[in-house]
Amino acid sequence: MSDVSKRPTTQVDMITRVAVTISVMSLAALVISYIDHLLFYSYFGIPVNSYIQVSEAVVLFLPRFISYVVGIIQALLLCVIFGIFLFFPVDKEKKKSDNKEAKGDASEER
């Protein structure tokens, strides 16, 4: 049992994991999307399950999925921006002294 846990992961193992993960996530997105639409339309008393075909159910999750992806990207960008400001603070005193030194070096070269 310890031999299996110490075995290094290969690229084929990683590709297989990614493929399985994408398949499971796609199936979950379809099921959740279908249930979401059924619950939404049942609230208004519309029997939508008799009108939705499989080909339509495949694309039902796209609008919500796209909005989630855009939201995640925006959140990540905000985290990156705040991280840059937190980990690389701008010291105004140092910046002024660097500018003065740069101006002094430029005038000495002339």
Q: What is the predicted pLDDT for the residue at 96?
A: 63
**Which tens digit of pLDDT belongs to each residue from 81-108?**
988 888 877 666 666 666 666 665 555 5
Q: Is 40 exposed, middle or buried (0-12, 13-18, 19+ CB in 10 A)?
A: exposed
SS (H, E, C) 41-69: HHHCCCCHHHCCCHHHHHCCCHHHHHHHH
Q: Are residues 21 and 72 in the same domain?
A: no
Structural domain for 26, as ranges: 1-60
> Structurally, how many domains does the chain consist of?
2
Q: What is the predicted pLDDT for the residue at 74?
A: 92
Q: Are residues 12 and 30 in the same domain?
A: yes
What CA–CA distance (Å, rounded) separates 32 from 62?
12
Q: Are residues 50 and 69 in the same domain?
A: no
**Which tens digit of pLDDT belongs to each residue from 2-33?**
555 566 668 778 888 888 888 888 788 778 77
pLDDT over 90 at 78, yes or no: yes
pLDDT over 80 at 43, yes or no: yes
